[in-house]
């Protein structure tokens, strides 16, 4: 019998998801003569048995497209799945239904493409006997066990381009321009785009900031004849002895706390305390959308091909990863046991300080 494998994309969307799907499907069909079944909208499709049977042409022409042709969801966890019974919302464990659906299709292996939440559920399914392969996806680059996640470098490109555009208007109006980027607990996007875009201040969750130190940096620039400044702030940044700024709380969501507003808080403090004219730009979901850059297209393809090669070898319970310049694997158990945050004494922070960037500390 022809081997049959499954695939899904879970969590928030990001550039490169379609490139991974394309690599998985093309490698499976062309190289190994496997059948591939894709489950729609992340774990919801796996629980509800909503699927498509991929053929070679289904993934033709999607390499450069953002998003995912399978759809995705960051709300559905098969171990804590939202259902309505008697007009009441309940959360129940439907992981056994997942197992039944996989058996019904004759699926031997599942490729789970996602971030920390998606891969944590994949690990839990692996503990129940599912032959799982993980592919690391997140624009935040905060998954441990891999040097880079796909989607991250495109998000950095987007943020860097925004900084480039803010420079001209900041200089023209002699203003402080604040760019708020994503990064709940890890400030990778803010750090790398800030360095690449020539920011003056970078505020990240790993280094709580002192508003007085930020002001001193801006004044130092004025004394040197620079009458504008660029501040890049991650959404999870917080002041010393303060808390992250919460935009809203969504009850029933796996991640109920939604951050947002640190840029406005920072601008308000600079204007109210120091009288600095300040404007804020929030990139938000622009960082998730659009075409993947060449780096992410290649990395996604490498990950997808590697996932199918592992299946051919009979390996499972692992996540593919980038280790230096090579694609290798790490056990799923190790891949999701902690977040990868910015080392406060690491090379990137040190070179940023060396060229005069301020972290507000």
Looking at the fold, whether 136 and 175 belong to one and the same domain comes out as: no
Looking at the fold, whether 215 and 285 belong to one and the same domain comes out as: yes
Distance between CA atoms of 171 and 80, rounded to whole angstroms? Answer: 51
- The token pair that represents 9 in the structure block: 């994309």
Looking at the fold, whether 206 and 327 belong to one and the same domain comes out as: no
Give the pLDDT of residue 253: 65
3-state DSSP of 305-327: HHHHHHHHHCCCCEEEEEECCEE
Start-to-end C-alpha separation, the chain: 62
Give the pLDDT of residue 245: 83
Using the 3D structure, point to which of 251, 268, 289 is the last residue of a domain: 289
Strand partners, 110: 6, 132
pLDDT band at 254; cut points 50, 70, 90:
low
Specify the range with the lowest mean pLDDT, choosing from 66-70, 178-182, 334-338: 334-338
Q: Does the structure show a pLDDT above 70 at 252?
A: no
Looking at the fold, whether 124 and 24 belong to one and the same domain comes out as: yes
Looking at the fold, whether 145 and 159 belong to one and the same domain comes out as: no
Do the domain assignments include residue 341? Answer: no
**Per-residue pLDDT reduced to its tens digit, 145-156:** 999 999 999 999
In eight-state DSSP terms, residue 252 is T
Looking at the fold, whether 171 and 105 belong to one and the same domain comes out as: no
Do the domain assignments include residue 251? Answer: yes
Give the pLDDT of residue 1: 56
Give the pLDDT of residue 357: 96
**Per-residue pLDDT reduced to its tens digit, 111-164:** 999 999 999 999 999 999 999 999 999 999 999 899 999 999 999 999 999 999
**Per-residue pLDDT reduced to its tens digit, 41-77:** 999 999 999 999 999 999 999 999 999 999 998 889 9
- The token pair that represents 67 in the structure block: 């998003």
Domain count, the chain: 2
Instruction: Tell me what the mean pLDDT of segment 234-245 comes to.
Output: 91
Distance between CA atoms of 119 and 3, rounded to whole angstroms? Answer: 23
**Per-residue pLDDT reduced to its tens digit, 285-326:** 999 999 999 999 999 999 999 999 999 999 999 999 999 999
**Per-residue pLDDT reduced to its tens digit, 89-116:** 899 999 999 999 999 999 999 999 999 9
Distance between CA atoms of 37 and 39, rounded to whole angstroms? Answer: 7
Q: Does the structure show a pLDDT above 90 at 350?
A: yes
H helix intervals, 27-83: 43-48
Looking at the fold, whether 233 and 135 belong to one and the same domain comes out as: no
Give the pLDDT of residue 358: 97
- Per the structure, the complete domain to which residue 197 belongs is given by 155-289
Do the domain assignments include residue 128? Answer: yes
Do the domain assignments include residue 357? Answer: no
Relative to beta strand 229-234, strand 201-203 is parallel
Q: Does the structure show a pLDDT above 60 at 168?
A: yes
Looking at the fold, whether 136 and 10 belong to one and the same domain comes out as: yes
Distance between CA atoms of 65 and 22, rounded to whole angstroms? Answer: 11
Question: What is the chain's mean pLDDT, rounded?
Answer: 93
Do the domain assignments include residue 348? Answer: no
- Vertex 174, ends 170 and 177: CA angle to 5°? 40
Relative to beta strand 35-39, strand 257-259 is unpaired
Give the pLDDT of residue 87: 87
In which element (H, E) is residue 300 found? helix 294-313
Closest CA to 24 of 34, 15, 13: 34
**Per-residue pLDDT reduced to its tens digit, 206-227:** 999 999 999 999 999 999 999 8
- Vertex 105, ends 22 and 300: CA angle to 5°? 20
Looking at the fold, whether 183 and 272 belong to one and the same domain comes out as: yes
pLDDT band at 86; cut points 50, 70, 90:
confident
Regarding predicted confidence, which is higher, 295 or 254?
A: 295
Q: Does the structure show a pLDDT above 60 at 342?
A: yes
Specify the range with the lowest mean pLDDT, choosing from 14-18, 256-260, 310-314, 322-326: 256-260
- Do the beta carbons of residue 321 and residue 136 sit within 8 Å? yes
Instruction: Decide if 269 is catalytic.
Output: no
pTM of the model: 0.93
Give the pLDDT of residue 39: 97
CATH number of the domain bearing residue 132: 3.40.50.450
The percentage of the chain sitting over the pLDDT mark of 70, rounded to a whole number, equals 98
Distance between CA atoms of 1 and 59, rounded to whole angstroms? Answer: 24
Q: Does the structure show a pLDDT above 80 at 276?
A: yes
Catalytic residue among 13, 41, 116, 140: 140
| 257 contact partners, CB below 8 Å, separation of at least 6 | 246, 249
Do the domain assignments include residue 346? Answer: no
CATH number of the domain bearing residue 257: 3.40.50.460
Closest CA to 255 of 185, 190, 319, 338: 185
Looking at the fold, whether 143 and 23 belong to one and the same domain comes out as: yes
Looking at the fold, whether 138 and 9 belong to one and the same domain comes out as: yes
- Vertex 49, ends 104 and 18: CA angle to 5°? 110
Do the domain assignments include residue 347? Answer: no
Looking at the fold, whether 8 and 146 belong to one and the same domain comes out as: yes
In eight-state DSSP terms, residue 292 is P
Do the domain assignments include residue 33? Answer: yes
């Amino acid at each position: 019998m022809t081997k049959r494998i499954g695939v899904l994309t879970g969590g928030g969307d990001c550039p490169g998801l379609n490139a991974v799907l394309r690599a998985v499907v093309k490698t499976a069909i062309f190289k190994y003569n496997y059948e591939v079944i894709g489950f729609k909208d992340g774990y919801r499709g796996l629980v509800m048995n909503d699927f498509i049977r991929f053929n070679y042409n289904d993934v033709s022409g999607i390499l450069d497209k953002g998003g995912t042709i399978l759809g995705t969801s960051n709300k559905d966890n098969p171990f804590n799945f939202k259902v309505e019974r008697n007009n009441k919302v309940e959360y129940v464990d439907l992981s056994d239904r997942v197992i039944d659906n996989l058996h019904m299709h004759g699926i031997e292996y599942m490729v789970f493409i996602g971030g920390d939440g998606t891969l944590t559920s994949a690990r839990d399914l692996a503990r129940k006997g599912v032959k799982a392969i993980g592919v690391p996806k997140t624009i935040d680059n905060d998954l441990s066990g891999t040097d880079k996640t796909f989607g991250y470098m495109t998000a950095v490109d987007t943020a860097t381009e925004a900084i480039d555009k803010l420079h001209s208007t900041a200089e023209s109006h002699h203003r402080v321009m604040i760019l708020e980027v994503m990064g709940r607990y890890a400030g990778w996007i803010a750090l790398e785009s800030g360095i690449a875009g020539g920011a003056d201040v970078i505020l990240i969750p790993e280094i709580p900031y002192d508003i007085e130190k930020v002001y001193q940096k801006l004044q130092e620039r004025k004394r040197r004849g620079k009458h504008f400044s660029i501040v890049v702030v991650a959404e999870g940044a917080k002041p010393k002895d303060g808390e992250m700024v919460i935009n809203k709380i969504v009850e029933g969501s796996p991640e109920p706390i939604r951050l947002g507003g640190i840029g406005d808080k920072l601008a308000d403090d600079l204007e109210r305390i120091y009288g600095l004219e300040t404007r804020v730009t929030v990139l938000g979901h622009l960082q998730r959308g659009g075409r993947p850059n060449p780096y992410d297209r290649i990395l996604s393809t490498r990950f997808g091909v590697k996932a199918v090669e592992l299946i051919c070898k009979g390996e499972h319970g692992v996540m593919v990863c980038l280790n230096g310049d090579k694609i290798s694997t790490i056990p799923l158990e190790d891949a999701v046991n902690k977040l990868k945050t910015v080392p406060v004494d690491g090379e990137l922070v040190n070179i940023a300080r060396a060229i005069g960037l301020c972290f507000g500390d």
